[in-house]
Structure 1
C-alpha cells in the first residue's frame, strides 16, 4: 500500500471523518505492518526531442485549496474556463490569456469544469450544480443534488448527469436544471477520494461506482439496462478491499467500452450488452485515453502503459515516473501529457513510450488533468497558476 502525505487519497463519506485523520491512521497501520513507505522516483536526465514553450500564464484565485479539489479547467472554442476552490470562475482567451469575464460565486467549487454548448457546468461542496453562461459569466440556473460533487457534470443533448460522492447519479434537465430522475447505488464505508465520472451519450449513461460495479442506465428514466462487477474486493482490511471505478469509462466509435478500476483490472466491453472482450490486470484510479488502436493507462503507482485496444496486449510500459502521482493522461500532437506532484509536466512519445519533454509549471504540484488542443496544453497547478504551453516541433 502506498500513501501520500502531500495528496490525501482516502475519504470515509459515511462517517464524515476528515481526510487528514484517515491518512494518518492508514499510515500508522502501514508502519505497523512493515510495509514500504511512499517513495517517488527521482527524475533522471533524458534525450529531449520535444520542447514545451510557455505562451501565457494567469493566476486563478487561490487554486485548488488545502484539500486539492479536482477543479480541472475546460476549453470550448477559443476560450478556457478555470475556477478556484473559493468560487472564483474565469473565462480566458485561449490564445493570449486575456480575461473575458470573471464571476464570484457565493459557494465553494469542488468539481472539475465542463464547457459545452454555451454553458460551463460545475459542482460545489454543498451539493449544488451550477450552469454558467459562457458569454458573460451569468448564472443560468442552480440545482441541488444529494451531496458534494467532485466529478465534472456530463451532458448529452437533453440531460446533465451528475455523480455525487455518495454514489447517487442525478439527471437534470440541461436547459432548466430540473430533476428528471435519480439512480442510487450502495457505497462501501471506505472509498478513494472522489467519484467516477459518468460517460453519457444520448440513449444511455455508463456509471462506475465505488463498489466496483459498472451500470448502464436508460436516460429516459434512469433504470439499469445491465450491470456487472468489474473489480472484486480482496484482502482483509478495508484499504486492501478498495475497488473504486474512479475514472471515466471511454467509449470508442465502434461501440467498445474501456473501464479502469482500482485494485482491479482494465476491461474492454461490448457496450450494448456488457460482454467482456478482454481484460488486463492493471490497477488504475484514472480515466484512460484511446488514441487510434492504443489505450493508454496510468496505473495506481504511476506506470504509464500502452495496451493494444483490440486484444489488451501490453505494447509498452514506462516506469520512470513511478509513484510521482501522475495525473490522468492527455494527448497533444503524438505525445502523452501528464502532470506530477512536484509540478512537472511530462511528455511521453505515444508510439515508443519514451520521455521526450519536460518543464516545471509550479512547485505546488499538478493534480488535475491537462487540457489539450492540437499542440497547445493548458495546465493548472494546485496553487491556481494556469499556464498555456506549446509543444514543438
Structure 2
C-alpha cells in the first residue's frame, strides 16, 4: 500500500476554532497512521534522455525530523551548507563533498538556510535567528523574534528579514542582529504548515501572508507601500477557506512580480504599484521559478505547469506525478528539477514538459527544494542524506 507523507499539511499553532481543530486532528491522525489521504500516481517508465549521475553523498545528522521541517540547504560559491532538525550545521566542499566544518547548536533548527556575504542565516523552533560565520561555523550573533521560524531569513545590503509563523515580519540589522522594525498582520484560524518567504530587494520587501494578502513594505521603516488581496477565502469550513501565500514572490528585473496562492490563483503584478497584469487559476503552495519567457508552477496536487510569463496562458502541463507531494521546482541545465515523497528526483524538459531523467536519492523522501548550480544538483533527503548529482547531457 502506498503511504502518505508524514509531514502535516496544516499548522496546529493557528487552530483557534473547533472546526479547524477537528479538521487538523483528522488530517494529522491519518498522516501519523500512514493512511493515504490521496492516491499518488505510480511512476511509469519513459525514454531517459538525460542522466543523473551521483558525484558524492554525505549524511547530515538525523535529517528533517518527524515533522519534516523545511531545512533546505544553501550554497554560496564553492561551499554547500546543510543542517538537521536537532541543530547540527555543516559545511561541505560543493565539488567533492569534503566536510569543511561541523557545529552543533544548542537549539533545534526549523528553517531553510540562507548563505550570503560570509554568513549562514537560519531560524529555530524557539523563535531565534542565528548568523554563523561561513568560514568556521562560529556564531556571529543570535537574535529573538516573535515565534518559530520556518522560512529562510532573507537579506539585502543592510537588513535581514524574518517571517515567523505568527504572521510577524521582523527586520534585523544584518551585521548585529539588532531589531530595526516589525510588521504584523492578522492570521486566519487555520493555516498551511509553514509561512511565506519574503522577497527582499534594497528599497522594499514583498511579503505574502496566510490571509491571502501581499504587502510591499518600505525597508526603511516597515510601513506598507501597497497591499493586494491575492486570494479571497471562500467556503464554510476553515479548511475550505485556506488561502495561504506560502511560496516566495518572484520579481523580475523589468518590474514584474509573480505570486502563488493556495486555493487561489497565480497572479502577475506590476511591482511598483501592485496593478494586476494577469491571473491564472492554479492553486499552489510552492515558490514558482521563471526562466526566459516561461513561469513554472508546481500545483497543490503536483501538476507541473508552464505558463507564458507575459500573459499567463498555459504552455504545457505534466500530471505524470500527480499527488506525489512534489517539491518546489528548481532549474539545471535546461531541465526542471523536482523531488517527491518517495525520494525520487525527476528531470523535465523545460520547453516541452516531458520527463527526461529520474533517480532515487533515498526512500525517506525529498520534501525540500533541490539546490542547483549550472548542471549540478544538491538534494537533501528527509533522513539527512545529502547527495550531489550531475546532469548529463
Name the TM-score, length of structure 1 as normaliser: 0.95
Please name the residue that 1:33 is paired with.
none
Counterparts of 1:29-108 in structure 2, within 5 Å, are 37-108=37-108
Please name the residue that 2:232 is paired with.
232
1:372 is aligned to 2:341: no
Give the Cα separation in 2 of the matches to 1:180 and 1:280.
37
After TM superposition, give the deviation of residue 214 of structure 1 in Å: 0.2
SS of 1:378 mapped into structure 2: strand
Q: Mind listing any 5+ residue stretches in structure 2 that lack a counterpart?
A: 31-35
Give the Cα separation in 2 of the matches to 1:305 and 1:5.
23
After TM superposition, give the deviation of residue 26 of structure 1 in Å: 3.9
After TM superposition, give the deviation of residue 25 of structure 1 in Å: 1.7
With over 3 angstroms needed to count, the CA separation of the structure-2 counterparts of 1:5 and 1:373, relative to structure 1, is closer
Counterparts of 1:157-306 in structure 2, within 5 Å, are 157-306=157-306
After TM superposition, give the deviation of residue 15 of structure 1 in Å: 4.8
Q: Mind listing any 5+ residue stretches in structure 1 that lack a counterpart?
A: 30-35
Counterparts of 1:13-28 in structure 2, within 5 Å, are 13-15=13-15, 23-26=24-27
After TM superposition, give the deviation of residue 16 of structure 1 in Å: 8.6
SS of 2:14 mapped into structure 1: coil
1:317 is aligned to 2:317: yes
Give the Cα separation in 2 of the matches to 1:189 and 1:290.
32
- The list of structure 1 runs, each at least 4 consecutive aligned residues, that deviate by more than 3 angstroms after superposition, is 14-17, 19-24, 26-29
Please name the residue that 2:383 is paired with.
383
Contact 1:13–1:189, Cα closer than 8 Å, also in 2: no
Give the Cα separation in 2 of the matches to 1:60 and 1:16.
36
SS of 1:320 mapped into structure 2: coil
How many residues of Structure 1 are paired with residues of Structure 2 in the alignment? Answer: 384
With over 3 angstroms needed to count, the CA separation of the structure-2 counterparts of 1:223 and 1:65, relative to structure 1, is same
Please name the residue that 2:308 is paired with.
308
After TM superposition, give the deviation of residue 178 of structure 1 in Å: 0.1
SS of 1:13 mapped into structure 2: helix
Give the Cα separation in 1 of the matches to 2:385 and 2:29.
34
Contact 1:244–1:285, Cα closer than 8 Å, also in 2: yes
Residues 7-27 of structure 1 deviation map (CA, whole Å, 9 limit, x = unaligned)? 21001313599x998644248
With over 3 angstroms needed to count, the CA separation of the structure-2 counterparts of 1:381 and 1:27, relative to structure 1, is closer
Give the Cα separation in 1 of the matches to 2:74 and 2:260.
23
Please name the residue that 1:348 is paired with.
348
SS of 1:205 mapped into structure 2: strand
Give the Cα separation in 1 of the matches to 2:196 and 2:154.
11
Contact 1:11–1:22, Cα closer than 8 Å, also in 2: no
Give the Cα separation in 1 of the matches to 2:191 and 2:70.
16
Name the TM-score, length of structure 2 as normaliser: 0.95
Contact 2:16–2:189, Cα closer than 8 Å, also in 1: no
Residues 316-369 of structure 1 deviation map (CA, whole Å, 9 limit, x = unaligned)? 000000000000000000000000000000000000000000000000000000
Counterparts of 1:125-140 in structure 2, within 5 Å, are 125-140=125-140
SS of 2:85 mapped into structure 1: coil
Give the Cα separation in 2 of the matches to 1:22 and 1:112.
27
Give the Cα separation in 2 of the matches to 1:25 and 1:364.
23
Give the Cα separation in 2 of the matches to 1:14 and 1:312.
33
Contact 1:264–1:282, Cα closer than 8 Å, also in 2: yes
1:360 is aligned to 2:360: yes
